[in-house]
Amino acid sequence: MGASELNAASAVTCGFLVLDKPAGLSSHSCVARVRRAYGLKRVGHGGTLDPAVTGVLPIALGPATRLLPYLNGDKRYRGVIQLGVSTDSDDLEGEILARRPVTPLNTTELEAALDRFRGTIQQRPPAVSAVHVNGQRAYKLARAGETVDLPARTISVHQLTLLNWKPVQGQLELEVACSAGTYIRSLARDLGELLGCGGSLASLRRTEALGFQLSQSVSLERLDQEPRPTLVDPLNALAHLPRHALCHEQLQGWRCGRTQVCDPSWVPDSPVVVLTPDGNLAGMARVQDIGALQPRLVLDAAG
């Protein structure tokens, strides 16, 4: 898409739609529904949800797809973990591998176990996941019968709150705020292993993702109604980042990709939203060095 098309598209078809994804549909299927509803080819989602998971699925339309890497990657979930059951996918959608009795636990003991998963930790993704292994998705290899041994990754669990504990059923309900790349299925599996009984994710709902809230979401059915849901302005989605407003004398240099002078207090390599003199989105930049701003995404490039 050329610069003139970017500007033309941005007026009506550049922004973010927050879907409340229902169970049973893939994230890809939701993108296809949005593409048909708005008559666009350029549509993408941020933060894949498994088919069984519901809740916040941010979808970018038009040039906003290029802004997805700049959004806040943190997410928040509410989910139920079933102790005593282990599966090949680490959720109850998978094949059951083992059933074991759940050791009697009170909330104090359960909180002590959960504390092992708070903060910055190492976590191994589920074998049935979208992680790439030698150029292929792990879930494809697992479903083909291959053994998938994924290495652990560093993730951050900012908040892990025990909402409810049903000792007779062996079920606990949690609220989790975490960094991008965190798998709640892995949390269920690892908690079960720590307790010696196994565990799987029973249900999950995402309530926040990429800075978007469940309160902003719309249903898939809403896409079939007129008028179509209003898109979230990209500037609102980028509100967590610092902004640099160009003056009229700087605008042409920006459009030609020239480095701009910026606030010397900004941290090198951090992203910055760049605005035109009239306050519209001009693009994205990164702090190249102290006081120097390097263009990375120019929406109205010259030439």
| DSSP state at residue 114 | H
Task: Characterize 275-294 residue by residue with b for buried, 16 or more Cβ atoms within 10 angstroms of its Cβ, and e for exposed.
Answer: ebeeeebbbbbbbbeeebbb
With tokens 């996941």, the residue in question is: 129
CB 64 within 8 A of CB 16: yes
E-assigned strand segments in 219-270: 243-245, 260-261
User: In Å, how far are 6, 94, 124, 201, 261 from 73, measured between CA atoms?
Assistant: 25, 27, 19, 22, 28
45's tokens: 């989602």
What is the Cα gyration radius of the chain?
A: 22
Which residues belong to the active site?
50
